[in-house]
Amino acid sequence: MRLQVLLVATLGLAAVVGHAGPGDDLSSPFLDVVPRTEEEAERIAVVTALTGDFSEPEPFEANPGGGATVRARSDADAFSQASGNISFERELDFKVGNGLFRKLWVSSPASTLASDGLGPLYNARSCQRCHLKDGRGHPPNGPDDDATSMFLRVSIPAPPEAPMSEIEAFLLSVRNEETARTRPDPIYGGQLQDFAVQGHPAEYRLGVSWTETEVPLAGGETASLRTPEWRAEDLGYGPLAEDAMISPRVAPQMIGLGLLEAIPAADILAAADPDDADGDGISGRAQIVWSQEHERPMLGRFGWKAGSPTIREQSASAFTGDIGISNPIFTAPWGDCTAGQPDCRAAPHGDGDEREFEIDAEALDLVTFYSRNLAVPARRDMDAPEVLRGKEVFYETGCTSCHTPKHVTHRLADQPEQSFQLIWPHTDLLLHDMGEGLADNRPEGRADGQEWRTPPLWGIGLTPQVNGHSTYLHDGRARSLLEAVLWHGGEAQAARDRVVDLSPEDRAALIRYLESL
């Protein structure tokens, strides 16, 4: 709440609650937010309140994406469908955006002028290569398995005398406290790329080793957790900086992003409790980032630490960092190549006289539209007795303290698919301390080395069907949903311990509920 008050004082009330002119909402670049009436606010408070009745599903629970929900398919395309309420005309844009999302980029110079500009350093040749079937990535399963859907972020601590970014100065001025400040590695930049075009060395090869630990559970059961040790091996441009911090990231699933973007910032900020004023042990914090596109502080929503404010900016960042493609937001034609890699910067690029950027604004908008409208599948088996019991266990153990079940989105005249929908993403989109076990010890924006954004849970039970694996968390260390729960620490330690103490039947019911989402 204190952050919300400070944002109001610094940016104006409209920047927080969206009650002013076009584009003033802190949450997004929406130009047509319709303010809620008091009557609507009261209705929304009732419909989003936590239930205490677990005898049957709640009204509309079958449709986690509201009107945008689609039938749950039984094949690998379950995450690749357009919003269920999309018009025929707008579905054409979705399909064109899908083509651009799947498009394979090639190195310059090339005869395919609309597709050249790859790299010179890159992690994948297309968006689809990381987000296979629009689902989640996985860590390498052995020495012969590649890491295409995963990479390492890298940064170094900034010296105390380093100039602050606009957002850092803003946070210092309103909170009167130090913020974690980092800088890219002087040679390797902000993330490590494991591929390069011909004539250039790749930056590294991802290495990992695992240590198994057995965890006893009530009822005589046990589980095994694997702890990773991540390494940047075969470095192509010399050693990393001595104080370099690395953080592994798997590609997250893509469904429901437009609906998450449409949750009012005021609702998210209202749930923040950075000082744990209510004493429940949960102290979610809002991630506030500097938007490169809109040149102002905005609420971070996307990425494992909520480092991007909008789908468009997240997409543009992935184009430049993952594929090396310049765009209207991140304009460098060489992607993540640094001044310490002069040959990379001097290599041929895909921009020039015929086009300003390697992907232009229209194409970026189509990719954004596609990402915004990847639909959430309908719930499965939600009225099964074991699933209903699992839901009750989910609520009783305190999981809803961070995995907020329901939200209602903005009214958006030009985005009918996301407009005024009751959705069930099971996230508060806030940063939470998840303990030392999950810590990457690398700050990002306001997030410290132990904080992560609460990930949405919708569709999580379809991961094996879509992607052929069942690995979870930011680095894929968890090989099952139970393992993912058992890795929870910090603010979630008490909830995790309650799960350990459950009877085997209730623990199985909890997992069954998660699989139904």
Distances (CA, A) of 502 to 355, 387, 403, 498, 509: 60, 16, 19, 6, 10
Query: How do the domains of the chain map onto residue ranges?
Result: 2-516
- Give the amino acid at 23: G
Distance between CA atoms of residues 473 and 517, nearest Å: 16
The arithmetic mean of pLDDT across residues 41-47, rounded, is 95
Segments of 262-406 assigned E as strands: 288-291, 296-299
Distance between CA atoms of residues 173 and 182, nearest Å: 18
Distance between CA atoms of residues 157 and 183, nearest Å: 6
Q: What's the confidence (pLDDT) of residue 208?
A: 95
Q: What's the confidence (pLDDT) of residue 13?
A: 32
Q: Report the candidate in 146, 125, 122 with the shortest Cα–Cα distance to residue 196.
A: 122
Does the pLDDT at position 24 exceed 60? no
Using N-to-C axis directions, what is the helix angle for 2-11 and 166-175, rounded to 10°?
120
List beta partners, residue 248. 152
Q: What's the confidence (pLDDT) of residue 445?
A: 87
DSSP secondary-structure letter at 310? Answer: S
Distance between CA atoms of residues 377 and 67, nearest Å: 11
Give the contacts of 169 (CB within 8 A, at least 6 positions apart). Answer: none
| Burial annotation 459-482 (CB, 10 A radius, 16+ → b, else e) | bbbbbebbbebbbbbbbbbbbebb
| Residue 162: how many other CB atoms lie within 10 Å | 12
The answer to whether 457 touches 425, Cβ cutoff 8 Å, is yes
Give the contacts of 147 (CB within 8 A, at least 6 positions apart). Answer: 139, 140, 194, 206
Class of residue 34 by CB neighbours under 10 A (exposed 0-12, middle 13-18, buried 19+) = middle
Which residue did the predictor score with more confidence, 176 or 120?
A: 120
Distance between CA atoms of residues 276 and 296, nearest Å: 28
The arithmetic mean of pLDDT across residues 500-512, rounded, is 98
- From its phi and psi, is residue 49 left (phi > 0), alpha (psi between -120 and 50) or beta? beta
Distances (CA, A) of 389 to 177, 377, 392, 486: 45, 22, 5, 20
Distances (CA, A) of 203 to 126, 151, 241, 338, 377: 19, 11, 14, 12, 38
- At residue 29 the predicted structure's pLDDT band, cuts being 50, 70 and 90, is low
- At residue 158 the predicted structure's pLDDT band, cuts being 50, 70 and 90, is confident
Q: What's the confidence (pLDDT) of residue 180?
A: 46
Q: 11-25, 134-148, 305-319: which has the highest mean pLDDT?
A: 305-319
Give the contacts of 428 (CB within 8 A, at least 6 positions apart). Answer: 268, 271, 284, 402, 403, 404, 454
Least reliable range by pLDDT among 9-18, 189-198, 292-301, 334-343: 9-18
